[in-house]
Amino acid sequence: MFGLANPTKFMRFSGILLPYLIITTLGLFGWGLYMVFTAPEDYLQGPLSRILYVHAPSAYLAQAAYVFMALANFTGYIWRHPLADMAAKNAAPIGATFALLTIITGMLWGKPAWGTWWVWDARLTSVFILFIMYLGYIAIWQVIEDQVKAARVATIVAAVGLINIPIIKFSVEWWNTLHQPASLTTSGSAIHPSMLTALLIMFAAFTFLFTSLLFISIRTEINRRRARAMEMRILQQNIAQTNLSTRAAINNQEPD
């Protein structure tokens, strides 16, 4: 795993893997959406239950991306692996998008199901905080120009935000919330197998989408850093050349 921390090795490895990842993602989405729209409707919610096939995977991905981001930051901080910080930095916009989609899809389900777009209950509020944490994290990378310093500050923010993840998970058990408790647990599922299959395929599709987008983003980041390093080298060469010519010109003008 750490062998891939070398950017050149990662570029080679991801270049081979990426087409397969994209094909698998598209295949899983096609299969998943077919299963979603052919799965039976919930007897109480009717067609509204189809919203949950994208809401639940979005929510899972928003949290999983944050955990991944924090772990990548720790790896970068402790072992100084060049790719770890890049992975963390690029996981944030993807996670933030899915956190926003979780909130929006939840609101659109909540209005007809609960009669309200939004309530400040523990689950909804903690997911909103997660979204804000993502925005803060992205802002750090944008504001701090020195990438090493930015990575250090980002690690602290990621660590602070990590406390929110178990709060999101257990909020429905610790407090009285409008949001229902988890339907999928280690002890079993409260979902009928005909619906569960579609949901699990959508979970897999979202996971593969995240991996594909993250790989493309890391490759972009490596190219960006390589281009920046080349520009800096060219700039240094130009400055050195200018200095030489100026010195030569001064020497020529000096009186004997």
Partner 1 sequence: MEFLSLTEFTHYVTAVYTLVTIGVLGLTGYILINSQKQRARLRRLQANKAINK
- Identify the bridge partners of residue 24 per DSSP, sorted by sequence position: none
Q: Of 27 and 112, which has the nearer Cβ to partner 1? A: 112
- Of 163, 189, 160, 174, the C-alpha closest to 123 is 174
Q: Of 90 and 155, which has the nearer Cβ to partner 1? A: 90
Binding site for partner 1 (CB under 8 A): 44-48, 50-51, 54-55, 58, 93-94, 97, 100-101, 104-105, 108-109, 111-115, 209, 213, 216-217, 219-220, 223-224, 226-227, 230-231, 234
Q: Of 77 and 94, which has the nearer Cβ to partner 1? A: 94
Is residue 205 within 8 Å of residue 28, measured between CB atoms?
yes
Q: Of 6 and 170, which has the nearer Cβ to partner 1? A: 6
Is residue 85 within 8 Å of residue 153, measured between CB atoms?
no
Q: How far apart are the first and last CA of the chain?
A: 66
Length reported for the chain? 256
Q: How many whole angstroms separate alpha carbon 28 and alpha carbon 82?
A: 32
- Local structure of 180: helix, strand or coil: coil
Q: Of 94 and 199, which has the nearer Cβ to partner 1? A: 94
Q: CB of 241: closest distance to partner 1 in angstroms?
A: 11
Q: CB of 231: closest distance to partner 1 in angstroms?
A: 7
Q: How many whole angstroms separate alpha carbon 61 and alpha carbon 58?
A: 5
- Residue 81, token pair as written in the block: 């692996």
Q: CB of 107: closest distance to partner 1 in angstroms?
A: 10
Q: CB of 47: closest distance to partner 1 in angstroms?
A: 5
